[in-house]
């Protein structure tokens, strides 16, 4: 059952998605309180954003979360690379900042419902229990990035774009005459990097915490070459190794303790499973092995797996067929067809 239309808090970034989400909520009878979160090096809300809020007919609050964002997301991003892991800052930001702080603001204002422009569906099961589902636009689906939301927040969530494609959203935005007011182009994948690449960013922020020159070795420990810093690599990467061989080398492991980069050929890149930690469940945590679909990165199509729980938030994930480039630090996210079940952080691969 849809909630009675009343007050709702919306995260308004200034892009197409959140703007159209605001317009749709207004059309559906909601009174929208928009919040613009300043996250990374952003000045005060632009005149364009203020004008956008006015055209949409929503109240606008600007909230400076740059310090929180730096501590929760940027520091995590740097720390993960220092530990030889490949972070996913968008997953971290959604849980800790975008939804976490939005929920706090709504609570302070006495408002029950929250909305964003994510391409995700929130709709109940036949028994009335709220659940999250992939967006109908499979290319834009963002369920992977919000798997760490607390289960208790689900009844409060509204995702106006979940049943729309990006093409439909853009068309609606044009019909609403928003083109001159929305931010163009859309925000980039790592919003706080700016014009730098991530390696330049890391070296400029924490040069003392990075590894420097070290050995590139194979599984047997034979030195094949030298690297200029482990932060420049991720599992599965083949470019930039500077190695000559009859077939391409790929990064298999990153070992910050010894400052070694382990490489091998493509057949060595496959794993039968992984160990997941800090699993966040959006269902009752399984006590027995269960079958699900696992996605080990955002654009991964998914693979049938068996989840063997070790505890409420740890477990072993065994794939139905070996998967390439299982990457520590990335998220493994679980589905029942298109229903989001939860997910955790990849701790290590299982050969």
Q: What pLDDT is stored for residue 209 in this prediction?
A: 62
Q: So what's the pLDDT on residue 197?
A: 87
Residue 182 near residue 52, CB atoms below 8 Å = yes
Q: Are 230 and 244 in contact (CB under 8 A)?
A: no
As a CATH number, domain 269-350 is 2.40.30.10
Pick the CATH number of 211-264 from 3.40.50, 2.30.30, 2.40.50, 3.30.870: 2.30.30
Give per-residue pLDDT as tens, 124-146: 999 999 999 999 999 999 999 99
| Spatial contact of 73 and 192, defined as CB atoms under 8 Å apart | yes
pLDDT of residue 5: 65
User: Domain residues of the chain, as ranges?
Assistant: 7-175, 211-264, 269-350
Would you say residue 2 has pLDDT above 80? Answer: no
Coarse DSSP helix, strand, coil percentages of the chain, rounded to the nearest 5 percent: 30, 30, 40
pLDDT of residue 211: 73
Contact 224, 216 (CB under 8 A): yes
| Predicted confidence band of residue 4 (pLDDT cuts 50, 70, 90) | low
Q: Could you report the per-residue pLDDT of 74-116, keeping only the tens digit for each? A: 999 999 999 999 999 999 999 999 999 999 999 999 999 999 9
What CATH number belongs to 7-175?
3.40.50.620
Beta partners for 331? 345
Q: Strand (E) positions, the chain?
A: 7-11, 31-38, 59-64, 113-115, 120-124, 130-134, 157-158, 214-217, 223-227, 250-255, 260-264, 270-281, 290-295, 303-311, 314-324, 331-336, 339-350
d(CA 193, CA 203): 12
Which two structure tokens, joined as six digits, stand for 37? 């979160």
Task: Say which of 90, 93, 122, 305 is annotated catalytic.
Answer: 93
- The reply to whether 7-175 and 269-350 are identical in fold is no
> Active-site residue 305, yes or no?
no
Can you give the pLDDT at residue 208?
65
Judged against a pLDDT cut of 90, whether residue 254 lies above it is answered with yes
Q: Is the pLDDT of residue 1 over 60?
A: no
Residue 122 among the catalytic residues: no
pLDDT 10s digits, 200-224: 888 887 666 667 899 999 999 999 9
Residue 188 predicted with pLDDT over 70 = no
């Amino acid at each position: 059952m849809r909630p009675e239309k009343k007050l709702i808090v919306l995260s308004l970034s200034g892009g197409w998605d959140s703007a159209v989400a605001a317009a749709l909520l207004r059309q559906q009878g909601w009174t929208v309180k928009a919040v613009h979160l300043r996250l990374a090096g952003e000045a005060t809300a632009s005149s364009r954003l203020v004008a956008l809020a006015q055209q949409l007919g929503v109240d606008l609050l600007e909230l400076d979360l740059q310090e929180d964002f730096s501590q929760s997301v940027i520091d995590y991003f740097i720390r993960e690379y220092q530990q030889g892991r490949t972070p996913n800052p968008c997953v971290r930001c959604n849980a800790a900042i975008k939804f976490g702080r939005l929920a706090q603001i709504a609570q302070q204002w006495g408002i029950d419902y929250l909305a964003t422009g994510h391409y995700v569906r929130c709709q109940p099961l036949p028994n009335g229990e709220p659940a999250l589902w992939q967006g109908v636009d499979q290319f834009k689906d963002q369920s992977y990035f919000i798997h760490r939301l607390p289960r208790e927040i689900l009844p409060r969530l509204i995702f106006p774009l979940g049943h729309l494609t990006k093409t439909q959203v853009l068309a609606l935005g044009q019909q609403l005459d928003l083109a001159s007011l929305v931010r163009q182009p859309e925000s980039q994948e790592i919003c706080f990097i700016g014009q730098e690449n991530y390696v330049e960013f890391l070296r400029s922020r924490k040069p003392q915490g990075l590894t420097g020159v070290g050995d590139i070795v194979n599984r047997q420990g034979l030195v094949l070459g030298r690297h200029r810093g482990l932060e420049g690599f991720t599992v599965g990467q083949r470019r930039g190794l500077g190695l000559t061989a009859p077939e391409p080398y790929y990064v298999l492991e990153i070992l910050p303790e010894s400052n070694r980069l382990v490489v091998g050929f493509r057949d060595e890149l496959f794993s039968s499973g992984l160990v997941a930690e800090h699993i966040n469940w959006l269902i009752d945590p399984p006590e027995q092995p269960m079958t699900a679909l696992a996605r080990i990165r955002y654009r991964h199509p998914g693979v049938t797996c068996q989840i063997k729980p070790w505890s409420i938030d740890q477990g072993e994930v065994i794939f139905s067929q070996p998967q390439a480039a299982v990457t520590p630090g990335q998220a493994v996210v679980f589905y029942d067809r298109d229903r989001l079940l939860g997910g955790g952080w990849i701790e290590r691969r299982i050969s």
